[in-house]
Amino acid sequence: MGKLRPGLVTPLLATVLVLGVSACGGGTDAGASPGASQPAEKIKLTVALFSDFHFAPLYEEFKKTHPGVEITERRAQFNDHHTNLTTQLATGAGAADVIAVEAGYIATFTPLVDKFHDLNQFGLGKRQADYLDWKWKQGLSADGTKLLGLGTDIGGLAMCYRTDLFKKAGLPTDRAEVSQLWPTWEAYMEAGKKFTAAKVAGAKWFDGPGENFRAIVDQAPVGFYDQQNNLVAGTNPDVRKAWDLSVSMIQADQSAKLAAFSPPWNTGLTKGSFATIICPSWKTGSIKDAAPTTSGKWDVAAVPGGGGGNQGGTHLMAPKQGKHPKEAAELIDLLTNKDTQLKLFTDAGALPSIPSLYDDPTITSFVNPFFSDAPTGKIFTDAAKALKPQHVGPKAGDVLTAFGNGLQRIEQGKQSPEEAWQQVLKDLDRIK
Please give the pLDDT value at position 1: 65
User: Which pLDDT tens digit goes with each residue over 281-323?
Assistant: 999 999 999 999 999 999 999 999 986 778 889 999 999 999 9
Residue 167 has pLDDT above 50, yes or no: yes
| 162 in Cβ contact with 297 (< 8 Å) | yes
Residue 162 · residue 272 · CB < 8 Å = yes
Which residues, other chains included, contact 324 with Cβ-Cβ below 8 Å and sequence gap of 6+? 25, 32, 37, 43, 44, 45, 97
| Residue 79 contacts residue 8 (beta carbons within 8 Å) | no
Residue 40: the pLDDT is 55
User: At residue 25, does pLDDT exceed 70?
Assistant: no
Residue 18 has pLDDT above 60, yes or no: no
- Average pLDDT in the 413-429 region? 97
- Give the C-alpha separation, 322 to 178, whole Å: 49
Tell me which DSSP letter residue 389 carries.
P
* Parallel/antiparallel/unpaired status of strands 204-206 and 274-278: parallel
Task: Report pTM.
Answer: 0.87
Mean pLDDT of 87-114: 96
Mean per-residue pLDDT of the chain: 91
Dump pLDDT digits (tens) for 326-376: 999 999 999 999 999 999 999 999 999 999 999 999 999 999 999 999 999
Please give the CATH superfamily to which domain 159-312 belongs: Periplasmic binding protein-like II (3.40.190.10)
Contact by Cβ (8 Å): 352, 41: no
Q: Is the pLDDT of residue 14 over 70?
A: no
Residue 28 clears pLDDT 50, i.e. is over it: no
Tell whether the model's pLDDT for residue 24 goes beyond 50. no
Q: What is the mean pLDDT of residues 394-408?
A: 95
Domain boundaries, the chain: 15-154+314-340, 159-312
Asked if residue 371 lies in contact with residue 299, where contact means CB atoms within 8 angstroms, the answer is: yes
Per-residue model confidence as pLDDT tens digits over 375-385: 999 999 988 88
What b/e readout covers 246-282, taking b as 16+ CB neighbours within 10 angstroms? bbbbbeeebbbbbbbbbeebbebbeebbbbbbbbbbb
Report how far residue 281's alpha carbon sits from residue 196's, in angstroms, rounded to the nearest whole number. Answer: 27
Whether the predicted pLDDT of 26 surpasses 50: no
Q: How confident is the model at residue 389 (pLDDT cuts 50, 70, 90)?
A: confident
pLDDT at 310: 85
**Does the domain at residues 15-154+314-340 carry the CATH identifier 3.40.50.720?**
no
Confidence class of residue 107 from pLDDT cuts 50, 70 and 90?
Answer: very high
Each residue's pLDDT tens digit, 181-224: 999 999 999 999 999 999 999 999 999 999 999 999 999 999 99
Confidence of residue 410 (pLDDT cuts 50, 70, 90): very high
Q: Is 312 helix (H, G, I), strand (E, B) or coil?
A: strand
56-65 vs 325-336: helix axis angle to the nearest 10?
A: 130
229-278 residue pLDDT tens: 999 999 999 999 999 999 999 999 999 999 988 899 999 999 999 999 99
In this prediction, residue 29 has a pLDDT band, given cuts at 50, 70 and 90, of very low
What DSSP assignment string belongs to 38-85?
PTTPPEEEEEEESS--S-HHHHHHHHHH-TTEEEEEEE--HHHHHHHH
Q: Do domains 15-154+314-340 and 159-312 have the same CATH topology?
A: yes
pLDDT of residue 20: 37
Q: Mean per-residue pLDDT for 43-58?
A: 96
